[in-house]
Structure 1
Amino acid sequence: MDYFLNAMIKKNSLFYMANLSPEIGRMFRAHDSGKKEIADQARNRALKVVDSVLTSNEIKPAGREEWSATRNLIAGYDLLDAFARKILESFGRPFSIKFMNQFG
């Protein structure tokens, strides 16, 4: 991304939401490779993304509940069953697509 486009992108809740999916992907790839420390670092970055969304004034109360539940899934990523993992892996994708349609 060039400097001018980067300067134009406002770091609003959509920006943070769009960055969640890659962090979740990194977290699970590292976990699946047995790299717990790297997986935990990705988890911590993903939790920071969720916290940025939760502290913004851009989401409604129902959205806050959903993001809080997502935060709990991320925090316990290594305890998830296959179904919960699939849900978490797909959660951020719509935001990434929407963001890329605006700036990609």
Structure 2
Amino acid sequence: MEAGAVNDDTFKNVVLESSVPVLVDFWAPWCGPCRIIAPVVDEIAGEYKDKLKCVKLNTDESPNVASEYGIRSIPTIMVFKGGKKCETIIGAVPKATIVQTVEKYLN
């Protein structure tokens, strides 16, 4: 299962108003590490499809949300729950690190 896409226009509705926790992958097409982590985010989207929403935000196309959340380096993954940012992971980290972070917000 592939993670969905969000942008400046859909972020509030899809992420902040979600009834389940949301993992947001901030990325850009020119970013090598972003391409490494993308399939990992897709895997997590499949494994947690009923408990977690996974989306990707292209920082080149949606600079407003990226600057609102202070994204300075990509890839950056943020976990949102109940409309609030709970946690930030910066860089291409192992899948286990992302899963461990996500698990904290699933209950």
User: Would you say same fold, with TM above 0.5?
Assistant: no
Q: Which has the higher helix share?
A: 1
Q: Which has the higher strand share?
A: 2
* TM-score between the two structures when normalised by the length of structure 1: 0.29
